[in-house]
Amino acid sequence: MRDAVDALAQGLDPSALIAARYPLAEAERAFAHAATRGSLKVLVDPLAGYSGNGQSTVMPPNSSSTPQ
């Protein structure tokens, strides 16, 4: 844990470690993605991909509005 805190203090951008961000409605798909080889971090975010029209989309890393 201390190494992680030190890396953040030295300027590590943790968002580069995020492979994908899924809306809560797609949590099962997010867990499947997280189980794939090479995925460091997969986030389940209740607001990710929310477009206001009832449609959810997977959000690529470092994105707040561009669906993948």
Task: Tell me what pLDDT residue 46 has.
Answer: 86
Kindly report the length of the chain: 68
d(CA 43, CA 61): 10
Residue 26 vs residue 47, higher pLDDT: 26
pLDDT > 90? residue 47: no
Q: Residue range 18-43: average pLDDT?
A: 91
Residue 65 pLDDT greater than 60, yes or no: no
30/20 Cα distance (integer angstroms):
8
Domain boundaries, the chain: 15-68
